[in-house]
């Protein structure tokens, strides 16, 4: 219970910092909304082709802006010189990893829920129960995205070109869950076919478990470097 409390305290610290500045939140929200606007007008609004492409557009808007938060996740500690103090604290460094993952995950969910509402309006979807599947995938994909992204963000935090390097490292790893999310969203929103959703769900859950465990184990070496 003490370790869970530490994880929560670390996450709350990061979320409070973001709440006070709101810089990353507003920037990420604007970027994600801009993606939806551009894609909506790039196709013929309301056409069948736009509707068919909408699952891919949705997940681009949900995940790509999350890079902004990942790039900032260790920025405050690095700028203020507190990262070394946190690392030297007498706790397992995996706890620091879980705290960062939780903060990044909650931040991403807050953005994604707002973006999903904008998506429903822009692409003329009726808010029906099938969107509960989309929200479930948002929760699970966000967890895997945050887990992998936190490890790589810690690796490149002292690199001058981290804004360029982080996406290069991150996106090849998360391709499986992006494909699973896009295909599952297409099945539930476009085809109304729920028979294959469970298979995609299992893939995302397996990805989350593997990379959360791997991140917890290797984070000690990542921040140690």
Instruction: Give the CA count within 13 Å in the CB-facing half-sphere of 6.
Output: 14
Task: Identify the band that residue 202 occupies on the pLDDT scale cut at 50, 70 and 90.
Answer: very high
CB 49 within 8 A of CB 43: yes
SS3 183: helix
- Summarize pLDDT for 34-71 with one digit per residue, the tens: 888 888 777 766 666 677 888 888 898 888 878 888 88
Q: How far apart are alpha carbons 143 and 140 in whole angstroms?
A: 5
Neighbours of 207 (CB within 10 A): 22
In the predicted model, is pLDDT for residue 87 greater than 70?
Answer: no
- Which residue is it, tokens 């006070």? 20
Return the pLDDT at 47: 64
CB 75 within 8 A of CB 153: no
Write out the two tokens for 1.
Answer: 């219970």
Instruction: Give the CA count within 13 Å in the CB-facing half-sphere of 207.
Output: 25
Return the pLDDT at 63: 87
- Summarize pLDDT for 2-24 with one digit per residue, the tens: 778 888 888 888 888 777 777 77
Q: Residue 22 carries which DSSP code?
A: -
Domain spans in the chain, listed from the N-terminal domain onward: 2-224
């Amino acid at each position: 219970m003490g370790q869970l409390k530490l994880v929560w305290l670390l996450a709350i610290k990061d979320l409070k910092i973001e709440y006070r500045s709101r810089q990353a939140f507003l920037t990420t929200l604007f970027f994600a909304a801009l993606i939806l606007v551009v894609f909506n007008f790039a196709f013929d609004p309301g056409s069948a082709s736009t509707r068919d492409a909408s699952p891919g557009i949705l997940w681009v808007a949900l995940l790509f802006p999350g890079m902004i938060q990942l790039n900032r996740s260790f920025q405050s500690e690095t700028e203020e010189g507190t990262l070394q103090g946190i690392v030297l604290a007498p706790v397992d460094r995996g706890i620091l990893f879980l705290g960062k993952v939780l903060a990044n995950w909650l931040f991403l969910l807050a953005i994604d829920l707002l973006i999903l509402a904008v998506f429903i309006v822009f692409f003329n979807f009726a808010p029906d129960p099938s969107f509960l599947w989309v929200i479930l995938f948002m929760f699970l994909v966000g967890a895997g995205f945050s887990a992998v992204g936190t490890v790589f963000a810690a690796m490149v935090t002292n690199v001058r070109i981290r804004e360029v390097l982080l996406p290069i490292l991150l996106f090849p790893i998360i391709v499986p869950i992006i494909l699973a999310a896009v295909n599952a969203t297409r099945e539930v929103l476009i085809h109304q076919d729920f028979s294959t959703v469970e298979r995609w769900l299992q893939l995302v859950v397996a990805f989350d478990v593997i990379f959360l465990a791997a991140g917890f184990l290797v984070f000690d070496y990542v921040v140690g470097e």
